[in-house]
Amino acid sequence: MVVYEVPELTDDEVDRLFRALADRTRRDIVRRTLRGEVSVSQLASSYEMSFAAVQKHVAVLEGAGLVTKQPHGRERLVRADPATIQRAQALLDQFEIIWRDRVTQLDALLLEETP
């Protein structure tokens, strides 16, 4: 089995990433663009907001590295960047390991004190 090393995120990258994902519209845009490229116009037609507002959401996601925007004729196609999502998952996995270790330590402590 091949194991790939996932580069860690800087604190600033983590802040941008989770700030971007804190908004439900942006999370939905990431979900849609993980399935395939979507034009900004197609995205805008899916929401009850202006085209400019959707563009701003895409810009926030792009700034966090969650999506890329490529010109295709007169349109701009938005595509999710799975590598950034993988890096975020690696960070969350580290938190899960810490949490599980603490629960294991607590279980051991409780077993020691049981008569």
pLDDT digits (tens, 9 = 90+) for 51-68: 999 999 999 999 999 999
Task: Determine how many CB atoms are found less than 10 A away from the CB of residue 8.
Answer: 11
Rg (CA), the chain: 19
Count of H helices and E strands in the chain? 5, 3
Query: Is 11-113 a domain of CATH 3.90.1150.10?
Result: no
- Does the pTM exceed 0.85? no
Quick check: helix, strand or coil at residue 79? strand
Pairing of strands 67-72, 75-80: antiparallel
Tokens standing for residue 28 = 């939905």
**Which sequence spans correspond to the domains of the chain?**
11-113
In this prediction, residue 7 carries a pLDDT of 66
Name the most confidently modeled range: 36-40, 85-89, 108-112: 36-40
DSSP letter assigned to residue 71: E
